[in-house]
Structure 1
Amino acid sequence: MYERGGKRLLDLTGGGLLLVLLAPVLGLTALAVRMRLGRPVLFRQQRAGRGGRPFILLKFRSMAEGPGGDAARLGRFGRWLRASALDELPQLINVVRGEMSLVGPRPLPVAYTPLYSPAQAARLRVRPGLAGLAQAAGRNALPWGPRLALDARYAARQSLGGDLALMLRCALLVLHGRGASAPGHATMPAFRGERD
Protein backbone atom coordinates (compact mmCIF):
# COMPACT_ATOMS: atom_id res chain seq x y z
CA MET A 1 0.00 0.00 0.00
CA TYR A 2 2.83 2.41 0.85
CA GLU A 3 4.60 1.74 -2.47
CA ARG A 4 1.37 2.13 -4.48
CA GLY A 5 0.32 5.52 -3.13
CA GLY A 6 1.58 6.41 0.32
CA LYS A 7 5.13 7.06 -0.83
CA ARG A 8 4.01 9.53 -3.49
CA LEU A 9 1.77 11.27 -0.95
CA LEU A 10 4.76 11.61 1.39
CA ASP A 11 6.83 13.02 -1.47
CA LEU A 12 4.21 15.61 -2.39
CA THR A 13 3.46 16.77 1.16
CA GLY A 14 7.01 16.47 2.48
CA GLY A 15 8.65 17.93 -0.63
CA GLY A 16 6.19 20.80 -0.82
CA LEU A 17 6.52 21.59 2.88
CA LEU A 18 10.31 21.48 2.72
CA LEU A 19 10.32 23.84 -0.27
CA VAL A 20 8.29 26.37 1.74
CA LEU A 21 10.26 25.97 4.97
CA LEU A 22 13.64 26.02 3.25
CA ALA A 23 12.82 28.90 0.88
CA PRO A 24 15.12 31.32 2.78
CA VAL A 25 17.96 28.74 2.69
CA LEU A 26 17.39 28.18 -1.04
CA GLY A 27 17.44 31.94 -1.64
CA LEU A 28 20.61 32.54 0.37
CA THR A 29 22.38 29.58 -1.24
CA ALA A 30 21.41 30.80 -4.71
CA LEU A 31 22.78 34.25 -3.84
CA ALA A 32 26.03 32.75 -2.54
CA VAL A 33 26.46 30.67 -5.71
CA ARG A 34 25.78 33.72 -7.86
CA MET A 35 28.37 35.79 -5.96
CA ARG A 36 31.07 33.08 -5.82
CA LEU A 37 30.62 31.27 -9.14
CA GLY A 38 28.47 33.56 -11.28
CA ARG A 39 25.80 32.41 -13.68
CA PRO A 40 24.17 30.00 -14.14
CA VAL A 41 23.22 29.39 -10.51
CA LEU A 42 21.61 26.04 -11.27
CA PHE A 43 23.33 23.00 -12.73
CA ARG A 44 21.05 20.95 -14.97
CA GLN A 45 21.91 17.46 -16.15
CA GLN A 46 20.00 14.59 -17.70
CA ARG A 47 19.72 11.64 -15.29
CA ALA A 48 17.95 8.29 -15.39
CA GLY A 49 14.68 8.14 -13.49
CA ARG A 50 12.25 5.35 -12.76
CA GLY A 51 12.39 2.71 -15.50
CA GLY A 52 15.47 4.46 -16.91
CA ARG A 53 13.39 7.36 -18.26
CA PRO A 54 15.51 10.52 -18.52
CA PHE A 55 14.70 13.70 -16.64
CA ILE A 56 16.56 16.94 -15.93
CA LEU A 57 18.10 16.95 -12.46
CA LEU A 58 18.44 20.32 -10.71
CA LYS A 59 21.31 21.25 -8.40
CA PHE A 60 23.04 24.41 -7.26
CA ARG A 61 26.25 24.75 -9.23
CA SER A 62 29.35 23.92 -7.19
CA MET A 63 32.10 24.07 -9.83
CA ALA A 64 33.64 26.96 -11.70
CA GLU A 65 33.20 26.94 -15.45
CA GLY A 66 36.18 26.43 -17.72
CA PRO A 67 38.79 23.82 -18.57
CA GLY A 68 40.17 21.22 -16.18
CA GLY A 69 38.85 18.28 -14.25
CA ASP A 70 36.53 18.28 -11.26
CA ALA A 71 39.36 18.81 -8.77
CA ALA A 72 40.58 21.91 -10.61
CA ARG A 73 37.10 23.46 -10.86
CA LEU A 74 35.84 22.53 -7.39
CA GLY A 75 37.14 25.19 -5.00
CA ARG A 76 36.73 25.60 -1.27
CA PHE A 77 33.22 27.01 -1.62
CA GLY A 78 32.14 24.15 -3.89
CA ARG A 79 33.55 21.52 -1.52
CA TRP A 80 31.65 23.11 1.37
CA LEU A 81 28.46 23.27 -0.69
CA ARG A 82 28.70 19.55 -1.51
CA ALA A 83 29.65 18.48 2.02
CA SER A 84 26.64 20.37 3.40
CA ALA A 85 24.37 18.90 0.67
CA LEU A 86 22.91 22.37 0.12
CA ASP A 87 23.66 21.90 -3.58
CA GLU A 88 21.01 19.14 -3.63
CA LEU A 89 18.10 21.26 -2.32
CA PRO A 90 16.73 22.26 -5.77
CA GLN A 91 15.94 18.56 -6.27
CA LEU A 92 12.93 19.13 -4.02
CA ILE A 93 11.41 20.58 -7.21
CA ASN A 94 12.17 17.26 -8.96
CA VAL A 95 10.44 15.49 -6.04
CA VAL A 96 7.27 17.61 -6.24
CA ARG A 97 7.18 17.15 -10.04
CA GLY A 98 7.25 13.36 -9.57
CA GLU A 99 10.64 12.77 -11.19
CA MET A 100 12.26 11.92 -7.87
CA SER A 101 11.31 10.77 -4.39
CA LEU A 102 12.47 11.95 -0.98
CA VAL A 103 13.97 8.48 -0.51
CA GLY A 104 15.41 6.24 -3.21
CA PRO A 105 18.63 5.46 -5.08
CA ARG A 106 20.53 8.58 -6.14
CA PRO A 107 19.82 9.51 -9.78
CA LEU A 108 22.79 8.65 -11.96
CA PRO A 109 23.72 9.74 -15.50
CA VAL A 110 21.73 8.13 -18.32
CA ALA A 111 25.01 6.87 -19.84
CA TYR A 112 25.42 4.46 -16.90
CA THR A 113 22.13 2.63 -17.56
CA PRO A 114 23.39 0.16 -20.23
CA LEU A 115 26.43 -0.64 -18.04
CA TYR A 116 24.40 -2.08 -15.15
CA SER A 117 24.32 -5.80 -14.52
CA PRO A 118 20.77 -7.25 -14.28
CA ALA A 119 21.03 -7.11 -10.48
CA GLN A 120 22.19 -3.48 -10.53
CA ALA A 121 19.46 -2.49 -13.02
CA ALA A 122 16.87 -3.38 -10.36
CA ARG A 123 17.59 0.05 -8.84
CA LEU A 124 15.61 1.56 -11.73
CA ARG A 125 12.29 0.03 -10.65
CA VAL A 126 11.75 2.92 -8.20
CA ARG A 127 12.04 6.69 -8.44
CA PRO A 128 15.50 8.02 -7.60
CA GLY A 129 15.73 9.93 -4.35
CA LEU A 130 17.41 12.63 -2.31
CA ALA A 131 18.25 10.19 0.48
CA GLY A 132 18.67 6.44 0.30
CA LEU A 133 20.15 3.26 1.69
CA ALA A 134 23.49 3.77 -0.09
CA GLN A 135 23.66 7.41 1.04
CA ALA A 136 23.04 6.38 4.64
CA ALA A 137 25.88 3.86 4.32
CA GLY A 138 28.44 6.48 3.30
CA ARG A 139 27.31 8.67 0.37
CA ASN A 140 30.04 8.98 -2.28
CA ALA A 141 32.66 7.36 -0.03
CA LEU A 142 31.03 4.01 -0.80
CA PRO A 143 32.48 2.17 -3.85
CA TRP A 144 30.23 1.54 -6.85
CA GLY A 145 29.68 -2.19 -6.31
CA PRO A 146 28.31 -2.00 -2.74
CA ARG A 147 26.52 1.25 -3.52
CA LEU A 148 24.53 -0.21 -6.44
CA ALA A 149 23.83 -3.39 -4.47
CA LEU A 150 22.28 -1.32 -1.68
CA ASP A 151 20.24 0.61 -4.25
CA ALA A 152 18.84 -2.67 -5.63
CA ARG A 153 18.13 -3.89 -2.11
CA TYR A 154 16.16 -0.73 -1.36
CA ALA A 155 14.20 -1.04 -4.62
CA ALA A 156 13.10 -4.55 -3.62
CA ARG A 157 11.36 -3.32 -0.49
CA GLN A 158 10.24 0.04 0.85
CA SER A 159 8.25 1.02 3.93
CA LEU A 160 7.22 4.24 5.62
CA GLY A 161 9.22 3.45 8.75
CA GLY A 162 12.27 2.50 6.71
CA ASP A 163 12.08 5.68 4.63
CA LEU A 164 11.76 7.92 7.69
CA ALA A 165 14.72 6.17 9.32
CA LEU A 166 16.82 6.60 6.15
CA MET A 167 16.02 10.32 5.99
CA LEU A 168 17.19 10.72 9.58
CA ARG A 169 20.38 8.68 9.01
CA CYS A 170 21.23 10.70 5.88
CA ALA A 171 20.57 13.99 7.66
CA LEU A 172 22.96 13.00 10.47
CA LEU A 173 25.63 11.98 7.95
CA VAL A 174 25.32 15.33 6.15
CA LEU A 175 25.47 17.26 9.43
CA HIS A 176 28.85 15.65 10.07
CA GLY A 177 29.95 16.54 6.50
CA ARG A 178 30.92 12.95 5.68
CA GLY A 179 30.95 11.10 2.37
CA ALA A 180 30.72 14.02 -0.06
CA SER A 181 33.50 12.57 -2.19
CA ALA A 182 35.13 9.23 -2.89
CA PRO A 183 38.57 8.68 -1.33
CA GLY A 184 41.22 10.23 -3.58
CA HIS A 185 38.65 12.00 -5.80
CA ALA A 186 37.13 15.47 -5.86
CA THR A 187 33.67 13.96 -6.36
CA MET A 188 33.00 10.37 -7.50
CA PRO A 189 34.84 8.41 -10.21
CA ALA A 190 32.79 7.49 -13.27
CA PHE A 191 31.03 4.13 -13.25
CA ARG A 192 32.56 1.80 -15.84
CA GLY A 193 30.38 -1.26 -15.49
CA GLU A 194 31.32 -4.72 -14.24
CA ARG A 195 34.87 -3.63 -13.36
CA ASP A 196 33.42 -1.46 -10.58
Structure 2
Amino acid sequence: MADSKNQFGDLLSDELRITNFGKMVRRTSLDEIPQLINVLKGEMSLVGPRPLLKEYLSLYNSTQAKRHQVRPGVTGWAQINGRNAITWEKKFEYDIWYVQHVSLGLDLKILFQTLWNVLRGKGVSQHGHVTIGKFTGSK
Protein backbone atom coordinates (compact mmCIF):
# COMPACT_ATOMS: atom_id res chain seq x y z
CA MET A 1 0.00 0.00 0.00
CA ALA A 2 1.09 3.50 -0.75
CA ASP A 3 0.77 6.19 1.93
CA SER A 4 -1.25 8.54 -0.31
CA LYS A 5 -3.30 11.10 1.63
CA ASN A 6 -6.02 13.60 0.80
CA GLN A 7 -5.78 17.38 1.30
CA PHE A 8 -6.69 16.95 5.01
CA GLY A 9 -3.86 14.48 5.65
CA ASP A 10 -6.15 11.43 5.90
CA LEU A 11 -5.14 8.22 4.16
CA LEU A 12 -7.01 7.58 0.92
CA SER A 13 -9.13 4.44 0.64
CA ASP A 14 -7.36 1.09 0.26
CA GLU A 15 -8.62 0.91 -3.32
CA LEU A 16 -6.78 4.12 -4.22
CA ARG A 17 -3.59 3.22 -2.31
CA ILE A 18 -3.03 -0.39 -3.39
CA THR A 19 -0.04 -0.91 -5.67
CA ASN A 20 0.15 -3.33 -8.60
CA PHE A 21 2.29 -5.63 -6.46
CA GLY A 22 -0.31 -5.41 -3.69
CA LYS A 23 -3.06 -6.34 -6.15
CA MET A 24 -1.10 -9.44 -7.18
CA VAL A 25 -0.50 -10.42 -3.54
CA ARG A 26 -4.24 -10.05 -2.77
CA ARG A 27 -5.36 -11.88 -5.93
CA THR A 28 -3.10 -14.85 -5.14
CA SER A 29 -3.85 -14.73 -1.37
CA LEU A 30 -0.14 -14.66 -0.55
CA ASP A 31 -0.96 -12.17 2.20
CA GLU A 32 -2.63 -15.05 4.09
CA ILE A 33 0.59 -17.05 4.53
CA PRO A 34 1.59 -15.40 7.87
CA GLN A 35 -1.62 -16.77 9.39
CA LEU A 36 -0.16 -20.26 9.09
CA ILE A 37 2.11 -19.29 11.99
CA ASN A 38 -1.03 -18.69 14.06
CA VAL A 39 -2.26 -22.17 13.05
CA LEU A 40 1.04 -23.73 14.17
CA LYS A 41 0.80 -21.85 17.49
CA GLY A 42 -2.73 -23.23 18.02
CA GLU A 43 -4.35 -19.79 17.92
CA MET A 44 -6.19 -20.52 14.67
CA SER A 45 -7.39 -23.48 12.68
CA LEU A 46 -7.00 -24.00 8.95
CA VAL A 47 -10.81 -23.95 8.66
CA GLY A 48 -13.28 -21.84 10.63
CA PRO A 49 -14.90 -18.43 10.51
CA ARG A 50 -12.33 -15.81 9.48
CA PRO A 51 -11.22 -13.60 12.37
CA LEU A 52 -12.65 -10.11 12.18
CA LEU A 53 -11.54 -6.81 13.67
CA LYS A 54 -11.95 -6.44 17.44
CA GLU A 55 -13.85 -3.20 16.83
CA TYR A 56 -16.70 -5.30 15.36
CA LEU A 57 -17.30 -7.32 18.56
CA SER A 58 -19.82 -4.87 20.01
CA LEU A 59 -21.72 -4.79 16.70
CA TYR A 60 -22.57 -8.51 16.61
CA ASN A 61 -26.08 -9.60 17.46
CA SER A 62 -26.51 -12.75 19.58
CA THR A 63 -26.71 -15.02 16.53
CA GLN A 64 -23.62 -13.53 14.87
CA ALA A 65 -21.63 -13.93 18.09
CA LYS A 66 -22.04 -17.72 17.78
CA ARG A 67 -19.24 -17.67 15.19
CA HIS A 68 -16.88 -17.58 18.20
CA GLN A 69 -17.94 -21.06 19.34
CA VAL A 70 -15.19 -22.51 17.14
CA ARG A 71 -11.58 -21.49 16.59
CA PRO A 72 -11.15 -18.90 13.79
CA GLY A 73 -9.73 -20.18 10.54
CA VAL A 74 -7.56 -19.17 7.62
CA THR A 75 -10.45 -20.16 5.34
CA GLY A 76 -14.05 -21.04 5.93
CA TRP A 77 -17.52 -21.71 4.55
CA ALA A 78 -18.09 -18.00 3.84
CA GLN A 79 -14.80 -17.81 1.92
CA ILE A 80 -15.70 -20.59 -0.50
CA ASN A 81 -19.21 -19.19 -0.93
CA GLY A 82 -18.29 -15.67 -1.96
CA ARG A 83 -15.36 -14.52 0.17
CA ASN A 84 -15.39 -10.72 0.10
CA ALA A 85 -17.90 -10.42 -2.76
CA ILE A 86 -20.88 -11.18 -0.46
CA THR A 87 -22.71 -9.03 2.08
CA TRP A 88 -21.81 -9.02 5.76
CA GLU A 89 -25.19 -10.60 6.55
CA LYS A 90 -24.51 -13.48 4.15
CA LYS A 91 -20.98 -13.87 5.55
CA PHE A 92 -22.37 -14.23 9.10
CA GLU A 93 -25.06 -16.62 7.87
CA TYR A 94 -22.38 -18.86 6.34
CA ASP A 95 -20.21 -18.65 9.47
CA ILE A 96 -23.10 -19.72 11.72
CA TRP A 97 -24.02 -22.54 9.33
CA TYR A 98 -20.42 -23.79 9.54
CA VAL A 99 -20.45 -23.69 13.37
CA GLN A 100 -23.62 -25.81 13.35
CA HIS A 101 -22.26 -28.35 10.81
CA VAL A 102 -18.53 -28.58 11.56
CA SER A 103 -16.97 -31.92 10.57
CA LEU A 104 -13.74 -33.30 9.12
CA GLY A 105 -15.47 -33.96 5.79
CA LEU A 106 -16.75 -30.40 5.59
CA ASP A 107 -13.30 -29.05 6.49
CA LEU A 108 -11.71 -31.09 3.69
CA LYS A 109 -14.31 -29.84 1.22
CA ILE A 110 -13.61 -26.24 2.29
CA LEU A 111 -9.84 -26.70 1.94
CA PHE A 112 -10.11 -28.13 -1.59
CA GLN A 113 -12.63 -25.50 -2.67
CA THR A 114 -10.41 -22.77 -1.20
CA LEU A 115 -7.48 -23.94 -3.29
CA TRP A 116 -9.67 -23.94 -6.40
CA ASN A 117 -11.03 -20.45 -5.65
CA VAL A 118 -7.53 -19.05 -5.01
CA LEU A 119 -6.28 -20.44 -8.31
CA ARG A 120 -9.23 -18.73 -10.03
CA GLY A 121 -8.91 -15.49 -8.02
CA LYS A 122 -12.59 -15.75 -7.13
CA GLY A 123 -14.27 -13.35 -4.67
CA VAL A 124 -11.12 -11.45 -3.69
CA SER A 125 -12.87 -8.11 -3.31
CA GLN A 126 -16.22 -6.46 -2.96
CA HIS A 127 -17.09 -3.97 -5.70
CA GLY A 128 -15.41 -0.65 -4.84
CA HIS A 129 -13.10 -2.14 -2.18
CA VAL A 130 -9.72 -3.86 -2.06
CA THR A 131 -11.27 -6.48 0.22
CA ILE A 132 -14.66 -5.71 1.78
CA GLY A 133 -16.38 -2.64 3.19
CA LYS A 134 -16.43 -1.95 6.91
CA PHE A 135 -18.98 -3.82 9.07
CA THR A 136 -21.31 -1.33 10.74
CA GLY A 137 -23.75 -3.74 12.36
CA SER A 138 -26.85 -5.51 11.08
CA LYS A 139 -30.15 -3.96 10.21
TM-score by length of 2: 0.91
Q: Which has the bigger relative contact order, CA under 8 A and spacing at least 6?
A: 2
Hey, what's the Cα distance between the residues in 1 that align with 2:109 and 2:59? 31
RMSD of aligned alpha carbons: 1.1
Q: How many residues align?
A: 133
> Structure 1, residues 13-51: CA drift from partner, whole Å, max 9, x if none?
xxxxxxxxxxxxxxxxxxxxxxxxxxxxxxxxxxxxxxx
Out of 60, 64, 83, which is 2:2 matched to? Answer: 64
Hey, what's the Cα distance between the residues in 2 that align with 1:149 and 1:194? 12
Out of 114, 117, 132, which is 2:61 matched to? Answer: 117
Equivalence map 1:126-165=2 (5 Å): 126-165=70-109
Hey, what's the Cα distance between the residues in 1 that align with 2:109 and 2:83? 16
Partner AA of 1:148 in structure 2? F
* Structure with the bigger percentage of helix: 1
Partner AA of 1:64 in structure 2? A
Is the 8 Å Cα contact of residues 136 and 166 (structure 1) preserved in structure 2? Answer: yes
Residue 184 of structure 1: how far off its partner (Å): 2.2
Identity of aligned residues (%): 47
Structure 2, unpaired ranges of 5+? 5-10
**In the alignment, which residue of structure 1 is the partner of 2:34?**
90
> Structure 1, residues 113-142: CA drift from partner, whole Å, max 9, x if none?
110111111001111101100001011011
Is the 8 Å Cα contact of residues 83 and 179 (structure 1) preserved in structure 2? Answer: no
Partner AA of 2:118 in structure 1? V
Structure 1, unpaired ranges of 5+? 1-62
TM-score by length of 1: 0.65
Out of 107, 115, 126, which is 1:182 matched to? Answer: 126
* Structure with the bigger percentage of strand: 1
1:104 pairs with 2:48? yes
**In the alignment, which residue of structure 2 is the partner of 1:80?**
24
